[in-house]
Every structure is written in C-alpha cells, then in structure tokens.
Amino acid sequence: MPELPEVETIVRGLRPLLPGKTIQELQILHADVLRQPSGEFSDRLQGHTFESVCRRGKNIVAHLTGDTVLVVNLGMTGRLVLARDETLTTHPAVRFSLSAGPALVYDDVRRFGAVEVMDEAEWAERDRRLGPEPLSSSFTARRLYADLARSVSPIRSWLLDQRRVAGVGNIYANEALHLAGIHPQRPARSVTEGEARRLHRAIRWTLRRAVENRGTTLRDYRDASGNPGDNAAHLRVYGRDQKPCPRCSTRICRLVFGNRTAFFCPRCQPGGAGGIT
Ligand SMILES: [Zn+2]
C-alpha cells in the first residue's frame, strides 16, 4: 500500500509536468473509484487547468482553476501515471486527456482507492482532520510523547491512524518501531519519554530514506512515470519473517493484530501487549 514516501515520489514526478495543463476530456472506465456520480465528477473537472500538485498524508492533492481540488488516495494498488506508454496502465479506471502531453491515468487493480473532486473549503475541512506531517516542523518529539500518553492503542495501530500522524502506513510503522526498539503491540501510553524521542527520530529517518530511494515496491507501486522504487532492499523487518534481524541476527517474528501483520525482532523489541506500565 502506498505510504508517504511513495505518494511523495509520485507528486514529485507530477509537479514539473501537470501545472498549466488543462483537462480536456475525461473517460470513466470504473466509476466505483469515484466518490460522486461520474457525470458530476466530469463536469466539475472538465476545462479546468492544473495549478499545483502536493501531498498531504497519503493523498495526492491537485489544485485546479475554478476552486477545484482533485484528491487521489491510492488505496492498496492505485497508481497515478502519465501514460506515455499504454503498457504502463493495465487496469485504468479514470483517464484525463490533457491539453498537452500524455494522458493522466488513474489505474487500480483492486480498486480500493478513491478519486474525488471537491472545492477548497471542503479540502480544508478534510485536511484539518489529518494529523501532523511527520517530516514537518510541527511534528515534534514532545508532541508525539504527549499524544501517545493519551492512548491505550497498540503503538503500531496508533501510528497507522491518519488522525494521529498523516502518511505512515504498515511498512514504515514497523520499520520505525524496529529502529526505535519498541514492540509493535506495546500500548501507546507505555512509551517512555526517551522512547518517544527515539521513535520520533526513527519515523523521520525511515521516511526520509524511503523518499530518497523513491519508495518501496513490493508488487504494485509505481511512480508517475511507471517505474518501481528502490527502497524494498533496505527494509529491516517488514516482510522479513524468519530472516535475521539486521542488528542482532535473531529471527524476525510476525504477528497479526488489528487486521494487519506486524514484523519485529523479539530481542531488539522486547515486551508486548503488557509492555512497560
Ligand atoms: Zn534484533
């Protein structure tokens, strides 16, 4: 599932190419990815020009002329690509023909993603409901510690909640917890001040490095040009069940809770549901 580094990589790919281009025509191939009737969706976008493209959490946010905002959440297998080559899009759901260059295509094999049009006020309301950007200066160790202290959720589940921190998903939550030496099932409020500082550093380091590596491709993720990312080879625990921990060589364990698989090193990340009280 694309997380902050993957979405950031896509946005960086689109940013030099989309602004200034006008949506001339829309082709809706699978309306189930839309959050409004396809007629309304098309009417609100057709003829409008892209002004800027940015990322908020795991969302691609494009601002267009006429108080129009296009918000794309890639779900599990979504891609937003400039389809220079038809082979880049295997399961196109929405195709935006632009005034110049290749079409912009939202492609999604499993179609758990969402493509939505709204006005700036609606977007501002949505934006307010998301937690801080983990790579921004508003995300501090002190704030993280204070927020964790108010929750009994397992720390891994806490990190996945987009209202707490925006953009972290299961891959980077597991990676950051390993780096910080915190068991994924520890109650959030059991995390000490020192551990919160380590976790804060680990989240930022993990995300920054993944952005530098242009995201993690395990299977479906591709950037805006259709290329896979290079970060998978750098994962410490995610998807590495029974392989040696990069720090202590103990076998990595997997554990399913909250409907998601957690990966951790039982030696570097001691404890569990009981945690430190
Ligand atoms: Zn270890």
Do 162 and 98 lie in a common domain? no
Interval between CA 181 and ligand 1 midpoint (Å): 9
Interval between CA 267 and ligand 1 midpoint (Å): 5
Position with higher pLDDT, 93 vs 86: 93
The answer, yes or no, to whether residue 100 has pLDDT greater than 70, is yes
* Predicted local distance difference test score (pLDDT) of residue 275: 42
Do 124 and 147 lie in a common domain? no
Is residue 273 assigned to a domain? Answer: no
Interval between CA 247 and ligand 1 midpoint (Å): 5
* Predicted local distance difference test score (pLDDT) of residue 276: 42
Do 122 and 199 lie in a common domain? no
* Predicted local distance difference test score (pLDDT) of residue 140: 98
Do 68 and 168 lie in a common domain? no
The answer, yes or no, to whether residue 139 has pLDDT greater than 70, is yes
Do 97 and 146 lie in a common domain? no
Q: Which of 101, 128, 155 finishes a domain?
A: 128
Q: What is the 3-state secondary structure (H, E, C) of the chain?
A: CCCHHHHHHHHHHHCCCCCCCEEEEEEECCHHHECCCHHHHHHHHCCCEEEEEEEECCEEEEEECCCEEEEEECCCCEEEEECCCHHHCCCEEEEEEECCCCCEEEEECCCCCEEEEECHHHHHHHHHCCCCCCCCCCCCHHHHHHHHCCCCCEHHHHHHCCCCCCCCCHHHHHHHHHHHCCCCCCEHHHCCHHHHHHHHHHHHHHHHHHHHCCCCCCCCCCCCCCCCCCHHHHCCCCCCCCCECCCCCCECEEEEECCEEEEECCCCCCCCCCCCC
Is residue 135 assigned to a domain? Answer: no
Is residue 203 assigned to a domain? Answer: yes
Domain containing residue 222: 141-264
State the catalytic residue, choosing from 111, 209, 247, 260: 260
* Predicted local distance difference test score (pLDDT) of residue 42: 98
58 is catalytic: yes
Do 221 and 161 lie in a common domain? yes
Q: Which CATH number fits the domain that encloses residue 201? A: 1.10.8.50
The answer, yes or no, to whether residue 85 has pLDDT greater than 90, is no
Do 10 and 121 lie in a common domain? yes
205 CB-contact burial (10 Å; exposed 0-12 / middle 13-18 / buried 19+) = middle
> What's the total number of domains in the chain?
2
Q: Which CATH number fits the domain that encloses residue 71? A: 3.20.190.10
Find the helix packing angle between 170-180 and 193-212, rounded to 10°: 130
The residue-averaged pLDDT of 155-179 equals 98
Is residue 60 assigned to a domain? Answer: yes
Do 213 and 249 lie in a common domain? yes
The answer, yes or no, to whether residue 15 has pLDDT greater than 90, is yes
* Predicted local distance difference test score (pLDDT) of residue 272: 74
Residue 99 pLDDT class (50, 70, 90 cuts) = very high
List, for residues 53-75, the tens digit of each pLDDT value. Answer: 999 999 999 999 999 999 999 99
Do 124 and 156 lie in a common domain? no
Position with higher pLDDT, 127 vs 1: 127
Do 32 and 148 lie in a common domain? no
2 is catalytic: yes
State the catalytic residue, choosing from 2, 132, 134, 184: 2
Interval between CA 240 and ligand 1 midpoint (Å): 12
243 is catalytic: no
Interval between CA 249 and ligand 1 midpoint (Å): 6
List, for residues 181-194, the tens digit of each pLDDT value. Answer: 999 999 999 999 99
21 is catalytic: no
Is residue 68 assigned to a domain? Answer: yes
- Its pTM stands at 0.95
The answer, yes or no, to whether residue 273 has pLDDT greater than 70, is no
Of the chain, the percentage scoring pLDDT greater than 90 comes to 94
Mean pLDDT for the chain? Answer: 95
Do 161 and 260 lie in a common domain? yes
* Predicted local distance difference test score (pLDDT) of residue 84: 85
Do 191 and 115 lie in a common domain? no
